[in-house]
Amino acid sequence: MMQDIYDDDLIVYVSEYYLQCMRNRGIPLDNDDFRSDLSYLYIDHLTMMLAWEVEKFFQGHLSEKKIRGIIEWKIGEIERVRKELEMKGLNRRI
């Protein structure tokens, strides 16, 4: 869903909008459960897409400068989300 988005504000908006859409369709979701599940899904997706970006670099589609920027951003996002889960006490919900 957010495969090549590198805009922090847009990422936050998408998760909030998605929760709202689910609730508008009558799907009852607990805030903590939703945020925890979405965060773990997002970390998984970031990791998968990071591997794909590295493969694109090896195939010659990305410059070293570009892949370094992508790696730094995605690893930073993984750390940000992990810390957010930890601060909210949601890192033990699975």
pLDDT in tens, 19-44: 999 999 999 999 888 988 889 999 99
In a domain, 42, yes or no: yes
User: Domain residues for 77?
Assistant: 8-87
Domain-embedded: residue 73: yes
Could you give the CA distance from residue 55 to residue 9 in angstroms, rounded to a whole number? Answer: 28
Q: Is residue 18 part of a domain?
A: yes
Is 1 a member of any domain?
Answer: no
Residue 13 lies in a domain: yes
* pLDDT reported for residue 92: 66
Whether residue 93 is contained in a domain is answered as no
* pLDDT above 90: percentage of residues in the chain: 57
* Phi, psi (degrees; rounded to nearest 5) at 29: -130, 135
Q: Is residue 65 part of a domain?
A: yes
Quick one: 39 exposed, middle or buried, by C-beta within 10 A (0-12, 13-18, 19+)?
buried
Domain count, the chain: 1
Is 58 within the bounds of a domain?
A: yes
Q: For position 9, what pLDDT does the model report?
A: 84
